[in-house]
């Protein structure tokens, strides 16, 4: 009787050890599977292209927001607009409300009938053209200036929203649903790095532009927005082959 109980206890312990070994093996297989999945995602060229675009335009948008506020409140002596902080706040509030309406009402229809990449490229080109006009707004005054700066800011933020939403959709459609957590984590990490660099870079560029109002090539404010446009040009060029490829479903 005692011998039978002892053998039964040994069998139970052996079964528990076997179960633990099986679970450990499954955990190792799961870990190796995750590593393989992550490596396959990093080799996904379409996904990496979408993440790169997201980072480049995040850098541009953050630098623009930093520069816009500083430029708008700076003195006309430095080719600014001499707006008050309340004026700038009103401009940003109107732009924010307009972008909200655009994203909820207009953009879904635009993406449905025109796809993602065509509005993306159009927004990038129009954003470049729009920023080219910013230095000339310093020649305007009063109501005319406030109306035009509100329109320009609204359009610029709508273009930025078009690009950002398209980048998010692109990077989520290039992987299956079960894998979307990892690429979103990668993109958010890289985007945060670019957004951390952008304000410092924008501030340095703005400070340099203020000190070089009369440049040999272009005035400081023109160089300021020219550099912003160069980032957009780089991002726009990355939407074409061989840098960027997209599934035919999303075109």
Residue 106 sits in a domain of what CATH number? 1.20.1250.20
The residue-averaged pLDDT of 217-242 equals: 86
Average pLDDT over all residues of the chain:
81
Terminal-residue alpha carbon distance, the chain: 76
Same domain, 39 and 92: no
Q: Which residues contact 166 (CB under 8 A, 6 or more apart)?
A: 111, 116, 117, 119, 120
Does 25 have pLDDT greater than 70?
no
Does 247 have pLDDT greater than 90?
no
> Cβ–Cβ contacts within 10 Å for residue 89, how many?
12
Pull the structure tokens for residue 116.
């993602």
Q: 75: helix, coil or strand? A: coil
Same domain, 227 and 106: yes
Residue-number span of the structural domain to which 127 is assigned? 46-250
Q: How confident is the model at residue 11 (pLDDT cuts 50, 70, 90)?
A: low
Same domain, 38 and 52: no
Does 175 have pLDDT greater than 80?
no
Same domain, 1 and 108: no
The residue-averaged pLDDT of 105-113 equals: 92
Does 246 have pLDDT greater than 70?
no
Same domain, 158 and 92: yes
Q: Tell me the percentage of the chain whose pLDDT exceeds 90.
A: 39
What is the number of structural domains in the chain?
2
Pull the structure tokens for residue 57.
């335009």
- What pLDDT score does 30 carry? 45
Same domain, 36 and 68: no
Distance (Å, whole) CA 192 – CA 203: 18
- What pLDDT score does 31 carry? 44
Same domain, 104 and 27: no
Does 226 have pLDDT greater than 80?
yes
Q: How confident is the model at residue 41 (pLDDT cuts 50, 70, 90)?
A: low
Same domain, 6 and 70: no
The residue-averaged pLDDT of 237-247 equals: 76
């Amino acid at each position: 009787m005692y011998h039978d109980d002892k053998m039964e206890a040994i069998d139970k312990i052996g079964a528990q050890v076997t179960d633990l070994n099986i679970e450990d093996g499954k955990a190792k297989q799961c870990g190796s599977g995750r590593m393989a999945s992550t490596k396959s995602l990093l080799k996904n060229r379409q996904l990496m292209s979408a993440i790169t675009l997201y980072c480049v335009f995040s850098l541009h948008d953050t630098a623009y927001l930093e520069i816009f506020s500083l430029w708008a409140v700076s003195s006309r002596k430095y080719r600014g607009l001499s707006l008050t902080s309340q004026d700038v706040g009103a401009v940003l509030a109107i732009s924010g409300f307009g972008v909200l309406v655009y994203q909820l009402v207009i953009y879904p229809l635009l993406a449905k009938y025109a796809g993602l990449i065509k509005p993306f490229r159009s927004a990038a080109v129009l954003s470049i053209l729009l920023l080219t006009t910013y230095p000339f707004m310093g020649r305007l005054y009063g109501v005319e200036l406030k109306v035009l700066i509100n329109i320009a800011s609204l359009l610029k933020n709508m273009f930025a929203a078009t690009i950002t939403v398209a980048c998010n959709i692109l990077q989520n459609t290039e992987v299956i649903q079960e894998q979307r957590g990892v690429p979103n984590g990668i993109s958010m990490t890289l985007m945060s790095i670019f957004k951390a660099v952008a304000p410092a870079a924008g501030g340095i560029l703005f400070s340099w532009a203020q000190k070089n109002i009369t440049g040999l090539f272009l005035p400081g404010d023109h160089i300021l927005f020219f550099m912003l446009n160069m980032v957009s040009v780089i991002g726009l060029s990355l939407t074409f082959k061989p840098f960027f490829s997209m599934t035919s479903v999303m075109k």
